[in-house]
């Protein structure tokens, strides 16, 4: 692993870190929401550049990690049905369901395919009119424009053999849930830059005001992160709770309005269970009335399967930010990326995998 000190921007990074050291006077806990940010932080040692007063808490922003076990079991139940072509983003394949994952289902003969875009799944449906093509539509607001357009396109082309298993999740309700959860230590948020490139920043000022919490829209490159952290610490030290945009080269206040319009047409808000966290009100999207015929849960009678998580896995605490991955007793022992007990060890955006791949085996301070 390379460390930040080795990069061309090392000087700027050191200067930003020095500035953060200069302005900080007391301990602060800041949550980076997005799993991509977590990876960049751990991989680049951004956290190790920070003064001891600034603690980064890793948030639940890994779509693979928070997809409920039930959804994965439903996916598996659909995938093994005869005549089905089951399509998914690659990072879902190894996520453990209660008994197996999509890779092992494929090994047993299910037609499971990795697609880069949901449009690839629509194309498969057009090419295979005799098969049922199902797409596992998960993700935050970043993947929603693509998934919404795929449904719209399938509707326009009259593809009765296309459907989606939808388990979309949303960032703002998660921020609210974290702030209101008992024992919460988070005092400020680095909001996920790419989510905001779709949704804009307009959703956040009411949230920042209501929860009295600074929210700084931040990118995921090392310098972006340090700048986001600097702005956040400035707010915290001054007792401000505002929305600031440290990623203006990509994110605007309004976001991508054509995408928001299509999302609003195709999806509607729904209470959603987050793996390891529980149900958060209005924290997800499902297909709206006009598009329900494309709902795979309706098309395939997938009963509600309740399933127990591994008793060893503490990913719920990791996702809520109350436990660092390497504080989990199973970390690197029973649980590795090859033998994952929880989704946070599988996904390239999961915090446990980030710690593992960067060799962070010992808890900080030990």
Partner 1 sequence: MCLAVPGQVESIHEANGMRMGRVNFGGVIKEICLAYLPDVAVGDYTIVHVGFAISKIDEASARATLQTFADLGLLEEGLADLRDSEPADLANDAP
CB of 261 to partner 1, least distance (A): 9
| C-alpha closest to that of 258 among 197, 204, 206, 217 | 197
Decide whether 72 or 330 has the Cβ nearer to partner 1. Answer: 72
Residue 163 near ligand SF4 by CB under 6 A:
no
CA separation for the pair 47, 265 (Å, rounded)? 41
Residue 330 near ligand SF4 by CB under 6 A:
yes
CB 302 within 8 A of CB 78: yes
Residue 352, contacted partner among ligand SF4, partner 1, none, CB below 5-8 A by kind: ligand SF4
CB of 358 to ligand SF4, least distance (A): 14
Residue 72 near ligand SF4 by CB under 6 A:
no
Residue 251, contacted partner among ligand SF4, partner 1, none, CB below 5-8 A by kind: partner 1
Residue 309, contacted partner among ligand SF4, partner 1, none, CB below 5-8 A by kind: none
Residue 173, contacted partner among partner 1, ligand SF4, none, CB below 5-8 A by kind: none
Residue 230, contacted partner among ligand SF4, partner 1, none, CB below 5-8 A by kind: none
232-252 core/surface letters (b: 16 or more CB in 10 A; e: else): bbbbbeeeebebbbbbeeebe
Q: How many alpha carbons lie under 13 Å from residue 123 in its C-beta half-sphere?
A: 7
3-state secondary structure of 161: coil
Decide whether 28 or 189 has the Cβ nearer to partner 1. Answer: 189
DSSP one-letter string for 33-63:
EEHHHHHHHHHHTHHHHS-TTEEEEEEEE-H
The 8-class DSSP code of residue 321 comes to T
Candidate residues 61, 139, 200, 325; the one interacting with ligand SF4 per rule CB under 6 A: 325
CA separation for the pair 110, 79 (Å, rounded)? 6
Residue 140, contacted partner among partner 1, ligand SF4, none, CB below 5-8 A by kind: partner 1
Residue 318 near ligand SF4 by CB under 6 A:
yes
Number of neighbouring beta carbons within 10 Å of residue 103 = 12
CA separation for the pair 242, 321 (Å, rounded)? 22
Q: What angle do CA 359, 223, 2 make, to 5 degrees?
A: 30
The residues in 288-317 that bind ligand SF4, with binding defined as CB under 6 A, are 312-315
Q: What is the radius of gyration, based on Cα positions, of the chain? A: 21
Residue 328, contacted partner among ligand SF4, partner 1, none, CB below 5-8 A by kind: ligand SF4
Alpha-carbon dihedral angle through residues 287, 289, 293, 297, given to the nearest 10 degrees? 50
336 phi, psi to nearest 5 deg: -140, 170
Q: Kindly list the residues in this chain that would bind partner 1 in the complex (CB under 8 A).
A: 2, 7-8, 34-36, 40, 43-44, 61, 63-64, 89-91, 113-120, 122-124, 126, 139-140, 142-143, 145-146, 149, 153, 156-157, 192, 194, 197-198, 221-222, 249-252, 256, 258-259, 262, 348-349
CB of 19 to partner 1, least distance (A): 20
Candidate residues 345, 347, 354, 360; the one interacting with ligand SF4 per rule CB under 6 A: 345
CB of 308 to partner 1, least distance (A): 27
263-276 core/surface letters (b: 16 or more CB in 10 A; e: else): beebbbebebbbbb
CB of 344 to ligand SF4, least distance (A): 4
Q: Which residues bind ligand SF4 (CB under 6 A)?
A: 312-315, 318, 325, 328, 330-331, 335, 341-342, 344-345, 352
């Amino acid at each position: 692993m390379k460390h930040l000190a080795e990069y061309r921007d090392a000087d700027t990074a050191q200067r930003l870190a020095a500035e953060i050291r200069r302005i900080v006077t007391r301990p602060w806990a800041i949550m980076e929401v997005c799993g991509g940010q977590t990876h960049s932080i751990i991989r680049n040692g951004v956290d190790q550049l920070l003064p001891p007063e600034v603690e980064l808490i890793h948030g639940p922003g890994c779509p693979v990690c928070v997809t409920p076990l039930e959804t994965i079991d439903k996916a598996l139940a659909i995938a093994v049905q005869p005549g089905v072509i089951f399509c998914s983003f690659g990072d879902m394949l190894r996520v453990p369901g209660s008994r197996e994952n999509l890779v092992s289902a494929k090994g047993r003969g299910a037609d499971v395919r990795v697609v880069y875009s949901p449009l690839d799944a629509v194309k498969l449906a057009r090419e295979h009119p005799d098969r049922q093509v199902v797409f596992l539509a998960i993700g935050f607001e970043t993947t929603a424009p693509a998934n919404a357009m795929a449904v719209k396109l399938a509707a326009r082309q009259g593809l009765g053999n296309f459907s989606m298993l939808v388990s979309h999740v949303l960032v703002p309700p998660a921020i609210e849930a974290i702030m209101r959860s008992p024992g919460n230590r988070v005092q400020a948020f680095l909001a996920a830059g790419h989510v905001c490139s779709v949704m804009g920043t307009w959703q956040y000022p009411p949230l920042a005001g209501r929860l009295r919490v600074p929210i700084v829209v931040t990118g995921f490159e090392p310098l972006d992160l340090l700048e986001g952290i600097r702005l956040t610490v400035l707010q915290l030290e001054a007792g401000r709770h505002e929305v600031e945009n440290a990623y203006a080269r990509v994110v605007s206040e309004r976001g991508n309005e054509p995408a928001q319009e299509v999302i609003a047409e195709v999806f509607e808000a729904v209470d959603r269970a987050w793996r390891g966290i529980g149900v958060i009100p209005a924290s997800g999207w499902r297909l709206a009335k006009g598009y329900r015929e494309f709902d795979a849960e309706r098309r395939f009678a997938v009963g509600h399967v309740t399933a127990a998580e591994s008793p060893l896995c503490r990913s719920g605490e990791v996702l809520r930010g109350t436990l660092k991955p390497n504080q989990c007793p199973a970390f690197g022992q029973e649980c590795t990326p090859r033998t994952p007990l929880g989704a946070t060890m599988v996904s390239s955006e999961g915090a446990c995998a980030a710690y593992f791949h960067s060799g962070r085996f010992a808890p900080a301070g030990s």
